[in-house]
Amino acid sequence: MGNAGALGFVDLGFIGLGVMGEPMCANLARKSGRPVAAFDLDPAPLERLGACGVRACASVGEVAERAAVVFLSLPSAAEVEAVCLGAAGIAARRGRTRIVVDMSTSAVDATRRISTALAGARIEYVDAPVARTRAAAQEGTLLIMVGGADAPFREVEPLLACMGSDVVRCGPVGSGQVVKILNNMVLFMTGQALAEALAIGARAGVEGKQLFEALARGSADSFALRNHGLKAMVPGSFPEKAFPTDYALKDIRLALDLAAACGVEARGARLTADLLQATSAAGFGGNYWPVLVKLIERAGGAGTR
């Protein structure tokens, strides 16, 4: 991070360079043609992104001082709130930042609260969580679900298009988070159904790859089947540093909180949350979330992967 002191004003900033954030930042820098200043607690992604022309900053405050539009990709609303509203955060720094785009998956009520607080500092807030896989983040083909006012959305839409092939405005602030949370709820519930089908098929004498390839030709086809089913559950590939069980558990709990706030009894989602909790408790909290199939196989006596 030795070049941070020499860094001048830039158009764009990026905070949070994890599994998704690093390739998203790389695509933003490459495709926008605009200078990007970035910060992460881990110096390794900052060093790698130097090859894309991304300039390293030493703190959140330094990004806020230099960048007019700042993108966030952080683990949860707690980190987003600290970065935006903390004592050393964007609002307190009173730098150049006038739009914050949160690409994390955060609670809806927290998103709206942060937006209101930033408005008091004359900073616009857009929530733009992402869906699809790590490969999609690398390829720039994410689905990005956006909540925010019309004017800031129009300004950041071409920038979001550097990271995603589908940018969908869902409504006012918080709407992007609603859609993302429900997307993940349905995904994880579908994952549980796939895991159950795989275990049942194995006990009934049908090989998993044959089963899922057949289902993919019929009405049971889905993105989850073709990706999480065929590419993870069937070969038993559940690496770390992909989207882990503990992140999935966080997201489905956000869905359950939203359901409760709306007066909906989401029984199916609660069952999936219980399975994800058991998967984490079994020691798979850091593994790619389709690892939940192991718990189904164990319970059904179908063996493990």
Would you please indicate which residues are annotated as catalytic (active-site) residues?
180
Distances (CA, A) of 285 to 149, 242, 248: 37, 11, 9
d(Cα 61, Cα 288) in Å, to the nearest integer? Answer: 33
Report residue 30 CA to chain centroid gap. 21
Q: Are 13 and 38 in contact (CB under 8 A)?
A: yes
Q: Are 36 and 28 in contact (CB under 8 A)?
A: yes
H/E stretch holding 270: helix 267-279
What is the biggest distance separating any 2 CA atoms in the chain, rounded to whole angstroms? 65
Q: Are 102 and 126 in contact (CB under 8 A)?
A: yes
d(Cα 19, Cα 170) in Å, to the nearest integer? Answer: 25
H/E stretch holding 91: helix 90-93
Instruction: State phi, psi for 116 to the nearest 5 degrees.
Output: -65, -40
d(Cα 125, Cα 70) in Å, to the nearest integer? Answer: 10
H/E stretch holding 124: strand 124-127
Q: How many CB atoms lie within 10 A of CB 281?
A: 11
